[in-house]
Amino acid sequence: MRRATAAKRVLSAMEHYDIVIIGAGLAGSLAAIALAREGHRVALIGPRPAIADGRTTALMDQSIEYLKTLGIWDDVAPLTAPLVAIHIIDATKRLLRAPPVNFRAAEVGLEAFGHNIPNAPFLEILEKHEASLPTLERVPVAATVFDFGEVEVRVGLEDGRMLTADLIVGADGRRSAVREAADIETFTWSYPQAAVVLNFAHELPHQEVSTEFHTVSGPFTQVPLPGDRSSLVWVQKPRDAEETLQLPLDVLSRTIEDRMQSILGKVTVEGKPQSFPLTGMTARRFGKGRVMLVGEAAHAFPPIGAQGLNLSLRDVMTVAELVGSPTGRRLPADTGDRFDSRRRIDIVSRTASVDLLNRSLLSSFLPVQAMRAVGLQLLSSAGPLRGLLMREGIHPGSALQSIKESLRETFTRKTA
């Protein structure tokens, strides 16, 4: 029997749930809502954030469709701005630079790739939905003890309660106590970068276009918010990020305007910027026995290409699909193993692609710069290739399916 802590404590009478979710951030809250809506008895465990999350999240089309099935989107939509186009500009000033690349949602038959939403109000909306679900109990304290038995999982809480469950979902971030208690190792790496995030108002309309400047220190990415406002993710060297945080707001505003080549006119930074070190992590397993890991408990990488929460939502979709609707029987003890098998290809491929893109920006090796420039040149000039990449970004696996269907049609015509 394994424990997350060596300390033993006397706990009160046990309450049983179908699923216990540890971690009440966006991924954990969405998992709790999805499972409780199916009728499962769910406990969502974890304290509320001490500091409001100043970041925003770009939800892609597949994620939005899932929020609609959960009955959440109508509340979320007014806080979002659509992303109808993504404009990539090579601002590396290197010898080998790529031409600008434009991705437009209309090219793949969509009104928008997705929508951008601030994290803090998004979480508040999820908390309201949690409160409306009769089979969901919100427990705003930390979990301190985890025992994984053959029949059930036992979870000891900071307030002295002991809960039992058929399954446990770890949504408790990069330093996941669930992952550690389950003896799941991780592979971690770091980048010589930090991400400065902030919101800003601007003089000219963004026209629902996100512009990403590729620089030698990393992406400088503007993403639309409602009205004449945008969010910014500015990847820099850690020392430069520290200096950026210390700039007076008027100086910072002018610096951002200059970096953006004044495409949105005068810029006014709102509130205090935040900074996060850039690291990467992937669990060696994403599920095991009665344990499933979602969100940053399973995978974490730089904020590039709007992959983070969209990947986490696919974790949640898979959890809900595997668990299904209540049957009156205990949930299977091998659910975590099946979850690991289902999620492995998607997580590994997305992590690798983000890592490769980020490292290609940092590399001073001329052949790497040449390959990156050629790749962006192909995307700029080859419409079908660009469309294939856009479909894959929105609906993972769709590109491979499209190729299979095309080959099948070609073979059918030749044999007819």
Using one digit for the tens of pLDDT, what is the confidence trace for 62-88? Answer: 899 999 999 999 999 999 999 999 888
Q: Does residue 350 share a domain with residue 377? A: no
Q: Does residue 245 share a domain with residue 213? A: yes
Tell me which of 356, 376, 402 is where a domain ends: 356
Under DSSP, the state recorded for 79 is: G
The answer to whether the CB of 249 falls within 8 A of the CB of 236 is no
Q: Give the helix/strand (H/E) hosting 380.
A: helix 366-381
pLDDT of residue 155: 96
Q: Does residue 369 share a domain with residue 352? A: no
Q: Does residue 285 share a domain with residue 231? A: yes
**Helix 308-323 / helix 335-362 crossing angle, nearest 10 deg:** 170
Query: Is 19 inside a domain boundary?
Result: yes
What number is the average pLDDT over the span 246-265? 96
Beta-sheet strand order (sheet of 114-118): 56-60, 114-118, 81-83
**In whole angstroms, what is the distance from residue 76 CA to residue 78 CA?**
6
Q: Does residue 166 share a domain with residue 33? A: yes
Find the range with the poorest average confidence among 59-68, 138-147, 153-162, 354-363.
Answer: 354-363
Tell me which of 329, 356, 383 is where a domain ends: 356
pLDDT of residue 349: 87
- The residue type found at 31 is A
* Token output for 239: 């020392």
Does residue 410 have a pLDDT over 70?
A: no
Query: Is 233 inside a domain boundary?
Result: yes
Q: Does residue 123 share a domain with residue 30? A: yes
* Token output for 394: 């929105």
Domain region containing 196? 14-356
What CATH number is associated with residue 279? 3.50.50.60
**In whole angstroms, what is the distance from residue 164 CA to residue 147 CA?**
9
Query: Is 173 inside a domain boundary?
Result: yes
Query: Is 226 inside a domain boundary?
Result: yes
pTM of the model: 0.83
What number is the average pLDDT over the span 265-293? 94
Q: Does residue 220 share a domain with residue 93? A: yes
Q: Does residue 371 share a domain with residue 346? A: no
The answer to whether the CB of 390 falls within 8 A of the CB of 110 is no
Does residue 100 have a pLDDT over 80?
A: no
Under DSSP, the state recorded for 347 is: H
Number of domains in the chain: 2
Query: Is 9 inside a domain boundary?
Result: no
The answer to whether the CB of 36 falls within 8 A of the CB of 135 is yes
For CA atoms 17, 21, 25, 31, the dihedral sign is negative
From the number of C-beta atoms within 10 Å of its C-beta (0-12, 13-18, 19+), residue 399 rates as: middle
Mean pLDDT for the chain overall: 84
Q: Does residue 411 share a domain with residue 342? A: no
End-to-end Cα, the chain, rounded Å:
63
Q: Are strands 136-139 and 42-45 parallel, antiparallel or unpaired?
A: parallel
Q: Does residue 408 share a domain with residue 270? A: no
Q: Does residue 391 share a domain with residue 284? A: no
Query: Is 171 inside a domain boundary?
Result: yes
Tell me which of 338, 356, 374 is where a domain ends: 356
Query: Is 133 inside a domain boundary?
Result: yes
Q: Does residue 262 share a domain with residue 377? A: no
